Chain A
Amino acid sequence: METNYDAIVVGTGVSGGWAAKELCEKGLKTLVLERGRMLKHIEDYPTMNDDPWDYKHGDVITQEIRKQQPKQSRTGYVNSESSKHLFVNDLKHPYSETQPFNWIRGYHVGGRSLTWGRQSYRLTDFDFEANAKDGISIDWPLRYKDLAPWYHHVEEHIGVSGENLGLPQFPDGNYLKPMELNCAEDVLKGAVNSKYNDRVVTIGRVAHITEGTKPGAGRISCQYRNRCRRGCPFGSYFSSNSSTLPVAEATGNMTLRPNSVVHEVIYDAETKRASGVRVIDAETKEVIEFNAKVIFLCASAIASTSILMQSKSDRFPNGMGNDSGELGHNLMDHHFQVGAQGSVEGFEDKYYTGRRPNGVYIPRFRNIGGDTNQKDFLRGYGYQGGGGRGGWSSKVAELGYGAGFKEAIMEPGGWSMGLTGFGETLPYHDNKMTLDYDKLDEWGLPTVNFDANIKENEFNMRKDMAQQAAEMLDVAGVKNIRTYDAPYILGNGIHEMGTARMGRDRKTSVLNKNNQIHDVPNVYVTDGAAMTSAGNVNPSLTYMALTARAANHAVEELKKMNL
């Protein structure tokens, strides 16, 4: 096949799909490399219409699955029968842990864009200015105004439903009509919005079409099946497979090559640029080189960092772009699995229709100035949660068993309501990933080791997350409130980020304000690796916006003959 291109994109998840779309639309002949198998929209979603009873034991994680996917199974939900094929076999793709880390991955075209949580929020200047204001780590090299138009651009293409609130810490966006709250959630909203002046309950902002259509592979409105994680035949939620890759394909400029394990970016000492990438064919093990004027690493934070670490040269003996020594450090995630839940009385004659693939959201209300500032921790958290009638009714306990009991379990249970906090993790230099050259994978490549954990700031925040959740439920009249703080393992948020951070100074960062490697300007890293701090909101939308912005920059630089 052709080995020379204008651009190479490594990875096909949310970032890679966006890089492919933008670069192809701007006329660049683009090679898109994916380490996993080909996965086509709709035709490769074998479980998309399955009911739980289509599996012998229901849609659960069996011991057989656990044997193949012991680490993916730690989440307790991602790799059940209906979605196990979209997550890696841990035996084939091993990693090691000095401290436990959940690295949850899918190796196939589309990556985790097929299985993501779809919550889509913008960062704000509370986030971009945080490190500088707190005097920790390093400052972000950009501000909200730099990214805002790109958030708008991305939201317009993918379709995000939600409600604008006009809050400075939770910026408005370009939203399709919001999904509806259920009766119990309405009660929470009424109580919290009226009794607090710093808190608002709203519907989650999710990358689902709720009205009209969006470009791509025939994307239409959500059908409320809530089977998103298996791939959606309606293309209703954003995935690379339904949205960005079809648009890139339609330009005629994209060459997509699955089964291509990129392990090195090749450095040309003469031009002081990258000349291309080295690939191992996952099936034949053949080594191939592809060349391009510009390279986008969008392989996910850990994989992109791992590629840079393996890209050693005389100029970069410790890995490409690692003059600062920060490559692999400052590993972050969002910590969660802490909150409160309880039961809601009344509304026995009310129910809901449709399986809403979304919940309620309470935006950050800590450390945004004045009375909201906390003594015990920096930064903030938001809540995701929701109400429902999934449990058993009180009648069930009364009846115990037998014919009456059987009738009762066929009725909806009592209403319950829960809130789970999602908190910011600080960028600690000693939270890191490294490569282990003593443990090689099937392709002879070094494997990743993780050595990271949350610390005092996060533990203090967690106490507040549980307490405030319980307090808000109480304000809403929720009964039998229980708080919980489950042991959280870093990575379990599946928001790993920060290992090739952006910054103003090449001595303390890997990437500049345009996501270019400081001294290799034709290599852009636009996935989670680029994050200088984590913020407290789900990050995928930010990766997409950064990618679109960087792609635009790359094309402008190519026009100016700067690359």
Chain B
Amino acid sequence: MDRRKALKNIGTGFGAIAVTPTVVSLFQSCQSAATYAPAYFSSSDFEKISQLMELIIPATDIPGAIELKLPEFSDGYIAAVWDEDRQGKFAEGWKAFLTASAAISGKGVDQMNTSDWDAVLSKFLKPGSEISDAEKDAASFAGQLRSLTVNAFKTNEFIGENVLAYAPVPGEQRGCVDLMEATGGKAWSL
């Protein structure tokens, strides 16, 4: 079932109540389960990228990267939006990231499990780690991957319309207001 229609139906059926993550999981499960054929990544790279994105934006009471299909969005985004030069540089960064990951985990990249990848991201994305010159490209790739993931998250329909503060037609403009009163502490999605 089309997710947008599903959302609208839920809106009609349940009145004004918030869409809970459980309900979201229910309707998302009725989407086709066909395997995604990546446009930019190889299948094995896509699997690793998906794992990494899920670590960056894990499932909480709000769906995580994989359920929100952020890896699919990002794969399509790179293929359709970036030019060859940028895609090539990203590929080089990925190679450097894999090399560094193998060195950090002491395993082949195909043997690494979630906690191995977590350790790599921790080194490159948490503040305070020492990054050697040899690891600079890998660290920079991790930062790019995080930006891609955040971009995908913020461009996601469910997040934009149901999780962040959504006001397609604000109707008025106030320059300086209380954050909690305006949005309950959330960022505007638009």
Give A contacts to B, CB under 8 Å.
Answer: 49, 51-54, 56-58, 60-64, 66, 179-183, 185-186, 222-225, 347-356, 389, 397-398, 400-403, 405-407, 409-413
Contact = CB atoms under 8 A, between A and B. Distances in A.
Nearest to B58: A403
Nearest to B183: A351
Contacts of A222: 173
A65 to B, nearest CB: 9
Nearest to A203: B175
B126 A400 contact: yes
15 contacts: A53-B156, A53-B157, A53-B160, A60-B81, A62-B80, A63-B80, A63-B83, A181-B176, A351-B177, A351-B182, A356-B175, A401-B125, A401-B146, A403-B60, A409-B154
Contacts of B177: 350-353
B76 A57 contact: yes
B174 A354 contact: yes
A402 B58 contact: yes
Contacts of A412: 179, 183, 186-188
A60 B60 CA distance: 29
Given A401-B121, A406-B58, 17 more contacts: A51-B160, A57-B73, A57-B76, A57-B81, A58-B151, A180-B175, A180-B176, A349-B179, A353-B170, A353-B182, A355-B170, A356-B175, A401-B125, A401-B146, A402-B58, A406-B153, A411-B187
Contacts of B174: 180, 352-354
A103 to B, nearest CB: 22
Interface string B146-190: 100011011111001101100111111111111110110111101
B187 A413 contact: yes
Interface string B75-105: 0110011110000000000000000000000
Contact of A51 (B60, B80, B190): B190
Given A179-B173, A400-B125, A406-B58, A51 B151 contact: no
Find the residue from B57, B161, B179 having the highest chain A CB count within 10 A: B179
Find the residue from B55, B62, B176, B188 having the highest chain A CB count within 10 A: B176
Contacts of B58: 402-403, 406
B55 A410 contact: no
Find the residue from A60, A62, A353 having the highest chain B CB count within 10 A: A353
Contact of A348 (B77, B172, B179): B179
Nearest to A352: B175
Label chain B's interface by main secondary structure: mixed
B127 interface: yes
Contacts of B179: 348-351, 412
A183 B186 contact: no
A225 B155 contact: no
Find the residue from A54, A389, A397, A411 having the highest chain B CB count within 10 A: A411
Label chain A's interface by main secondary structure: loop
Interface residues of B, number: 52
A506 to B, nearest CB: 50
A354 B160 contact: no
A534 B180 CA distance: 46
A301 B156 CA distance: 42
A66 B86 CA distance: 15
Nearest to B77: A57
A53 B168 CA distance: 12
Given A349-B178, A352-B182, A353-B174, A398 B127 contact: yes
Contact of B155 (A58, A397, A410): A58
Contacts of A182: 175-176
Interface string B99-134: 000000000000000000000011001110000000
Interface string B13-29: 00000000000000000
A224 B55 contact: no
Contact of B127 (A52, A185, A356, A400): A400
A403 B62 CA distance: 10
B164 A181 contact: no
Contact of A63 (B64, B81, B146, B172): B81
A402 B57 CA distance: 5
Closest 3 CB pairs of A and B: A180-B175, A354-B173, A53-B157
Nearest to B74: A57
A181 B156 CA distance: 30
Find the residue from A183, A348, A351, A411 having the highest chain B CB count within 10 A: A351
